[in-house]
Amino acid sequence: MSQQPPASNPPADKAAMVEAMFDRIARRYDLMNDVMTGGTHRLWKGATLRALGNRRHGNVLDVATGTGDLALTLAATSRTARVVGLDFSAQMLARANLRGHATAAAHGDRLLWARGDALRLPFADRSFSATTSAFALRNVADLGQMFRELARVLGPGGRVALLDLVPIPDPPLWTRLAQVHLREVVPRVGAAIVGDAAAYLYLPASVGSLPPLPTILDMLTEAGFADVRSRLFGLGTVALITGTRR
């Protein structure tokens, strides 16, 4: 493979690189997710929404919504939820918007898209009863700042549910095999399907940019969340992290 992922980036560079990368791959992003996970990302996303409990029926923010999977499902499956899907990639949001038009009968005007930065959320304090995010933690330049922003826009008792590929300490054999798949197979499939090897080399590299899962849980607690827990999917490669705003 000729292209390499950027080795390490200062925060502003990382944001610009990530935004441009998702703009580039937006057209084939959903297809690649299904191929790469055999469709199981849909099950993980279902678990993410269920983890919100009854808070999912209020004002919900999906940060780094991409093409809108979580936001669309939530708005279509709760009759009362008012959902905002936020992302900084114009092309990912354009796909989300198209999908939103196609499903409008199920959610009407209870679903909105917003262009913005996860590290500077354009919402007042305590605006939401729940926040979600899928496959974004690896992509932000400052994870602690993202967690503080999620805490700020949630009211007390608000739920957070975050899904992503994370490093776990002392991974068992099956997790190490899944990590090999991620490193060796996914970039080749990404090159074939999306035509962008660099984006799918960046994917496994970005997991390494995160602290290990126990540290991520501590950071969420520090940001103002209680009852912080995680459960693993995808042979131990993917964590669903949940908490309740103190």
Measured from each CB, the residue nearest to ligand SAM is: 66
Position among 58, 66, 100, 167 found at the interface with ligand SAM (CB under 6 A): 66
φ, ψ of residue 198 to 5 degrees: the values are -60, -40
Instruction: Give whichever of 154 and 165 is closer to ligand SAM, judged by the CB atom.
Output: 165
| CA torsion angle 23 116 32 3 (round to 10) | 50
Eight-class DSSP state of 55: G
Do the Cβ atoms of 136 and 89 come closer than 8 Å? no
Do the Cβ atoms of 84 and 112 come closer than 8 Å? yes
**Least CB distance to ligand SAM at residue 209 (A):** 12
Check residue 22 for interaction with ligand SAM (CB under 6 A). yes
Total length of the chain: 246
Instruction: Give whichever of 134 and 217 is closer to ligand SAM, judged by the CB atom.
Output: 134
The string over 39-56, giving b where at least 16 C-beta atoms fall within 10 Å of a residue's C-beta and e elsewhere, is eebeebbeebbebbeebb
Scanning residues 153 to 212, which ones bind ligand SAM (CB under 6 A)?
Answer: none
Q: Which stretch binds ligand SAM (CB under 6 A): 1-9, 49-57, 75-83, 84-92?
A: 84-92
Do the Cβ atoms of 243 and 229 come closer than 8 Å? yes
Q: Which residues on adjacent β-strands are paired with residue 87?
A: 115
Instruction: Give whichever of 23 and 156 is closer to ligand SAM, judged by the CB atom.
Output: 23
Instruction: Give whichever of 65 and 242 is closer to ligand SAM, judged by the CB atom.
Output: 65
| Burial (Cβ within 10 Å: 0-12, 13-18, ≥19) of residue 65 | buried
Query: Which 3 state secondary structure label does DSSP give 171?
Result: coil
Nearest alpha-carbon partner for 14 in 187, 163, 138: 138
Position among 25, 52, 61, 64 found at the interface with ligand SAM (CB under 6 A): 64
Site track for ligand SAM across 87-116, x = CB under 6 A:
xxx--x------------------------
Query: Which 3 state secondary structure label does DSSP give 8?
Result: coil
Check residue 225 for interaction with ligand SAM (CB under 6 A). no
Put residue 108 in one of left, alpha, beta given phi > 0 → left and psi -120 to 50 → alpha: left
Site track for ligand SAM across 121-160, x = CB under 6 A:
-------------xxx--xx--------------------
Applying CB under 6 A, what is the total number of residues that bind ligand SAM?
20
Instruction: Give whichever of 66 and 190 is closer to ligand SAM, judged by the CB atom.
Output: 66
**Least CB distance to ligand SAM at residue 31 (A):** 12
Q: Which residues bind ligand SAM (CB under 6 A)?
A: 15, 18-19, 22, 64-66, 69, 87-89, 92, 117-119, 134-136, 139-140
